[in-house]
Amino acid sequence: MITRTLLACAFALSTLPAMAETVRMAVTTSFENSGLADVLLPEIQAELGIEVELLVVGTGQALRLGEAGDVDAVLVHSRPAEIAFVEAGHATHWREIMYNDFVLIGPSDDPAGISSAQTAADALARIAEAEALFVSRGDNSGTHQKELALWASAGVDPEDLGSAYNAVGAGMGAALNTASGLNAYILSDRATWLTFGNQADLALLFSGDPEMFNPYSLLPVNPDRHPHVNNAAVMQLEDWLVGPRGEELINAYTVEGQTLFVHSAVPQ
C-alpha cells in the first residue's frame, strides 16, 4: 500500500508542468505605458517558459537596481547611460532591441509656435522665448536626460525659466497629467502619448528631428558581480527578443493604427 501510494504521488508530480524560470527586469515607465509588455510577456512565457517580472521605474532608477544586483536585466533608453553602465562593469553588454521617437506636446493653439520649428532645439528656444509653461519629468529618466540635452542644444538653461518650468519628479503618465492640467508643453515618447487617456486640449505639435530618435536596449546584469542573477534565462530572453518572433510582435504592435516601435536588433 505504501509503495503504491508513493508511486501514485511520483506519477502526479511527474505530470505537473515544470516550474517557470523567472527574470526580474527593470523597465522604464514609457515601455510599461506603451502596452507592449502586455503583448510580449505572455508569448515569452508560453514559448520560453520564462516569467518576466517587471519593475517599472525611470532609467536612472532602473540602472541603480541593476548596479545593486536587484534585477537580472534592465531595459532602458538612454544610450550614454547604457554605455557608462557597461564600461563600469555592471552589465555584460547592451543590445539594442527597438526604437521609437520623442515628440513635443503642447496646447493645441500652440502659443509658442513650435509646430513650424525646424528642429527640436528651435522648438524649445521658442518655448523659452514665449515664457510658455513647460512640464519636465525631472526624474533622471531617459526622457528627462534627452530633454536636458535638447535644452542644452537650444542654448537654454531650464533653471533660467523660473516658474514657467515645472519639474514634477514623476513618470511619463503623471507628467503628462500635469501638462494636461496646466495646458503646458512637454517632451514625451510617442508610445506613451498615443496611449495616454487624458489629452484634454493638448496636441502633438513637433516631431521628426533625428535628435529625438529613442532606442531601447537590453542590458544583462553582470553575473561576475552578482552570481545570483539568472543570466542564462536573460540570454534566452535576449535571443527571443532579437529573433524573428520578437521582431514580428514588436513591429506589429499598433495603437490607433500607428506603429509604436520598430524592431532594430542586429544579429550578432
Contact by Cβ (8 Å): 33, 49:
no
Q: Is the pLDDT of residue 2 over 50?
A: no
Q: What count of other Cβ atoms lies within 10 Å of the Cβ of residue 33?
A: 22
From the DSSP assignment, how many helices (H) and strands (E) are in the chain?
11, 12
Contacts of 67 (CB under 8 A, 6+ apart): 85, 88, 90
- C-alpha span between 184 and 179 (Å, rounded): 5
User: Lowest mean pLDDT: which of 38-42, 109-113, 137-141, 154-158?
Assistant: 137-141
**Higher pLDDT among residues 20 and 129, named by residue:** 129
- Average pLDDT, whole number, for the chain? 91
Task: Tell me what the mean pLDDT of segment 216-226 comes to.
Answer: 97
Contacts of 59 (CB under 8 A, 6+ apart): 28, 76, 77, 78, 81, 140, 141, 142, 143, 145
pLDDT at 256: 82
> Based on the number of CB atoms within 10 Å of its own CB, is 257 exposed (0-12), middle (13-18) or buried (19 or more)?
exposed
pLDDT at 266: 77
Task: Tell me what the mean pLDDT of segment 199-218 comes to.
Answer: 95
pLDDT at 171: 87
Q: Cell digits for 222?
A: 553582470
Q: How confident is the model at residue 156 (pLDDT cuts 50, 70, 90)?
A: very high
Q: How confident is the model at residue 103 (pLDDT cuts 50, 70, 90)?
A: very high
- C-alpha span between 146 and 184 (Å, rounded): 18
Residues 119, 121, 122, 126: is their CA dihedral positive or negative? positive
Task: Tell me what the mean pLDDT of segment 258-266 comes to.
Answer: 90
For the chain, list the domains and their CATH numbers: 20-99+213-263 (3.40.190.10), 102-212 (3.40.190.10)
Model-level pTM? 0.80
Q: Is the pLDDT of residue 110 over 50?
A: yes
> Based on the number of CB atoms within 10 Å of its own CB, is 256 exposed (0-12), middle (13-18) or buried (19 or more)?
exposed
Instruction: Quick: pLDDT tens for 136-153.
Output: 999 988 899 999 999 999
pLDDT at 54: 97
Instruction: Quick: pLDDT tens for 4-17.
Output: 433 343 334 344 34
Contacts of 50 (CB under 8 A, 6+ apart): 20, 21, 22, 23, 44, 233, 236, 237
Share of the chain above pLDDT 90, in %: 78
Name the DSSP letter for residue 224: T
pLDDT at 268: 64
Give 217's strand partners.
76, 96
Q: Is the pLDDT of residue 111 over 60?
A: yes
Instruction: Quick: pLDDT tens for 117-139.
Output: 999 999 999 999 999 999 999 99
Instruction: Quick: pLDDT tens for 49-59.
Output: 999 999 999 88
Share of the chain above pLDDT 70, in %: 92
pLDDT at 104: 98
Q: How confident is the model at residue 19 (pLDDT cuts 50, 70, 90)?
A: low
